[in-house]
Amino acid sequence: MQNLDDVSGQDDGGDMPPISGLRDFFRRFAAESRKLWWLAVPAISTSICQYSLGAVTQVLAGHVSTLALAAVSVENSVIAGFSLGVLLGMGSALETLCGQAYGAGQVEMMGIYLQRSWIILFTSALLLSLYYVFATPLLRLIGQTPAISSAAGKLSLWMIPQLFAYALNFPTAKFLQAQSKVMVMAVISAVALPLHGVLSWWMMLKLRWGMAGGAAVLNVSWWLVQVAQIVYIATGACGRAWSGFSRKAFKNLRGFARLSIASAVMICLEVWYFMALILFAGYLKNAQVSVAALSICMNILGWMVMVAFGINAAVSVRVSNELGAGHPKRAKFSLIVATITSTAIGTAISMTLIALRDWYPELFSNDEEVRTVVKQLTPLLALCIIINNIQPVLSGVAVGAGWQGVIAYVNIGCYYIFGVPLGLVLGYKLKFGVKGIWCGMLTGTVVQICVLSGIIYKTSWNKEASLAEARIRKWGGEKDREENEAEMQEKVP
């Protein structure tokens, strides 16, 4: 694997000395940018390709029928979105532990951590499958129309295999990201996406299998991605980080589960927040059109935010690695570079989207009423892209530093105590409809960004480096690592 220091062209032997002027700032900005982009480009590619698996299915569903589009949207956001939030959040615990352990040079137990996370997430997926089985009555209970509830519930049953692919994929991705092995993930996802697109078109539209065909292809695509990643790890490409399956993976599961749950709460509160936007739109008049139009906007937002998520993954790796290595100043500077970069990208994407607002809705729906609503929502979508290109970067720093518990409280206050009530008042009480709901909830995101920025500004990065060292000792399996070393010594003649 190419070393990040080779990419930057500078020595990372110690922490970063003080910046001596504007010219020095730009030199270091360029060096850190090279490090970030070396990680971010394949991470962005992976995020876009994997997100596009579901997005392609959703786009094609819009050409099957408006009901099919609404059903796929509700299943993706409410059913799969709920489960994705839980499993992705639980998997992010591995991002903190593996990232800081790798930065500290303690890689021997990373494979054990991966297996522990697989066990915990697979068990969680078994419980979450009940949510899929009873999706139809649950959607009716929360007020969705009978037609959408029935169609989305049927689709949910077909998508249960995807749930278990999630359970294996998210820990695997964090395990590989912590070692900067992101290129292989990008290649696997890039191969899977065009195959998925062709097969989905053939089965959904050409053979007229509709949602059933889309579900079958989507399940197969996710499992192909995961199997390919596991094969790559099993071939020995990760060196000391993977030494095969071990019974030690079943040790300390209780403590590992507690950390996973704390991580899940933070991520779930973010994922469910935007899931609720689709849900609230289902209560408006002409629900099918509202849900379909908003789902198109969320689909586009999801694609655009994948860029920010790629930078999120990169900055999380950089921050966790640098804190694990005892370089707090480098961790802080990486945050500054990532925030500036992500904001600039979000602004450029938003301007492009506004310029194409009269053209792009035709790609998603044949319904003229739906396309008209999408055009009306485009300025709000553009603003949302800029804001949501900043927020994932700050969340990435939080995960890299291990602040999941604190950020969970921040998310509760900003999103659910402030954002959701404001959105409901604007959307229903003041009768601004879907625009009002979206504006209120977007304001909650802005407040969260302000709070996170304040927390980061006041952070003592030297203290965070010390906490990272303590976290490695506590959660990094110091006892297990010593046992591993003892076993290796016993094998030496």
CA distance linking residue 325 with residue 319, whole number of Å: 10
Residues 6+ apart with CB under 8 A from 93: 117, 256, 259, 260, 262, 263, 404
Give pLDDT tens digits for 281-293.
767 766 677 777 8
Give the single-character DSSP code of 179: T
Q: Are 118 and 171 in contact (CB under 8 A)?
A: yes
Radius of gyration of the chain (CA): 22
Position 243 pLDDT exceeds 50: yes
Give residue 166's pLDDT.
Answer: 93
Note the pLDDT of residue 467. 66
pLDDT at 7 over 60: no
Whose structure tokens read 């507690």?
258
Could you tell me the pTM of the whole model? 0.70
Q: What is the DSSP string of 262-274?
A: HHHHHHHHHHHHH
Extract the tokens encoding 254.
């209780």
Indicate the Cα dihedral angle 371, 376, 380, 384, nearest 10°.
0
Cα–Cα distance for residue pair 294/73, rounded to 1 Å: 9
Sign of the torsion angle spanned by Cα atoms 239, 310, 374, 418: positive
Residue of higher predicted confidence among 204 and 265: 204
- In the block, tokens 């950390």 appear at 259
What's the CA gap between 270 and 276, in Å, rounded? 10
pLDDT above 60: residue 69: yes
Residue 25 predicted with pLDDT over 90: no
Phi then psi for residue 318, to 5 deg, are -60, -45
127 pLDDT more than 60: yes
Which has the closest alpha carbon to 391: 312, 456, 483? 312
Cα–Cα distances (Å) from 315 to 282, 311, 398, in that order, read 36, 6, 10
Which comes out higher in pLDDT, residue 404 or 386? Answer: 386
Answer whether 49's CB lies under 8 Å from 189's CB. Answer: yes
Q: Would you state the pLDDT for residue 134? A: 94
Q: What amino acid occupies position 358?
A: D
Give the pLDDT of residue 328.
Answer: 79
450 CB-contact burial (10 Å; exposed 0-12 / middle 13-18 / buried 19+): exposed
Across residues 327-333, what is the average pLDDT?
81
Q: Given the structure tokens 């998520």, which residue do they identify? A: 309
CA distance 55 to 349: 18
Taking the C-alpha atoms of residue 255 and residue 471, their distance in angstroms, rounded to an integer, is 12
**At a CB cut-off of 8 Å and minimum separation 6, what does 483 contact?**
248
Instruction: Give residue 91's region: left, alpha or beta (phi > 0; psi -120 to 50).
Output: alpha
Q: Calculate mean pLDDT across residues 224-242.
A: 91
Collapse the DSSP code of 324 into the 3-class scheme (helix H, G, I; strand E, B; otherwise coil) and give the result: helix
For the chain, the residue count is 493
Closest by CA position to 226, among listed 275, 178, 163: 163
Six token digits for residue 358: 């009269």
Per-residue pLDDT, 402: 66
Q: Quick one: pLDDT at residue 464?
A: 67
Most confident of 236-245, 275-284, 299-308, 394-403: 236-245
> Residue 364: which of 305, 303, 306, 308 has the closest Cα?
303
Domain boundaries, the chain: 27-486
Rounded to an integer, what distance in angstroms lies between the CA atom of residue 117 and that of residue 17? Answer: 37
Spatial separation of the C-alpha atoms in residues 255 and 253, rounded to whole Å: 6
User: Which of 280, 313, 270 lies closest to 421, judged by CA?
Assistant: 280
Query: Is 50 exceeded by the pLDDT of residue 202?
Result: yes
pLDDT tens digits along 82-108: 888 788 878 877 777 787 777 777 787
What is the number of helices (H) and of strands (E) in the chain? 19, 0
Torsion, CA 211, CA 212, CA 218, CA 224, rounded to 10: -170
Looking at residue 17, the DSSP 8-state letter turns out to be P
